Homo-oligomer: A and B are copies of this chain.
Amino acid sequence: MLEETFLHRDAIPLFVQLASKMRRRIVTGEWPPGHQLPTLEQIGEEFGVSRVTVRQAAERLEREGLIWRHRGKGTFVHDHSTLRRNFVVNATWRSFIQSLEGMDPAVLWVSETADPLVSSVPEGHLAPAYRSFRRVHCREGTAYSVTDIHLDDRIYQKDPERLLNSAILPILDAMPEVEIASARQEFTIGAADYPAARDLGTLIGTPVGEATNVVVDRSDTVIYLANIVFRGDLLRLDIQFTF
């Protein structure tokens, strides 16, 4: 469950899938601008593909203008950071909580240990320990998103049963001892890898939305961190402009 194969032969060529994984590392900043990528051999070993396949993926990313390669030097992330476009929009916490009401989460796995699987967060500081689990959210029987959740273990212990099997944010919202200071959702666009496609009942390479959800309490602690993958074909974002 933790060491999964993310690539799988199904219609989408392996090197295209690999390019998606590498693209995601670049756009999320895991491989920041100017960063030197691991060697082709190392990348190939990590994803279980041959060196030629990695080379094809790199060629693709170079054609997209995300990286540049040079014989004998290596492969580097292009300095594209200035041109990324950030849209900022607002939603009321209340309406967001309400939209989660109809949810029907199914737990796929729970980390046995309460180790903090989270490494870094852009804002706030980490809780001493997190409880981590992956769930699929359904609506009328159809999987619609898969979520990797990291919940402050002190909060998890308050009501493990309910927190594991219901939408979490409405529960947090209702807990009098939890005081939410800020919450945001960062949304990017991607393609389904093998585990996501499997859990969502869709196919590799189909469009997905990828969101990171961060909730910070009044003591500046990250109490909830979630990485969500949405089925692109079941999602519509309606931005209403106010005057």
Contact = CB atoms under 8 A, between A and B. Distances in A.
Interface of A: 11-13, 15-16, 20, 23, 26-27, 60, 63-66, 80, 82-93, 95-96, 99, 139-140, 142, 144, 180, 182-191, 201-203, 205-209, 230, 232-243
Contact of A241 (B92, B201, B206): B92
A181 to B, nearest CB: 9
Copies in the complex: 2
Nearest to A202: B64
A11 B11 contact: no
Given A184-B239, A189-B189, A239-B184, A90 B91 contact: yes
Nearest to A95: B88
A242 B90 contact: yes
B84 A235 contact: yes
Contact of A186 (B12, B23, B238): B238
Contact of A185 (B80, B88, B230, B239): B239
3 closest cross-chain pairs (CB), A and B: A189-B232, A187-B237, A89-B91
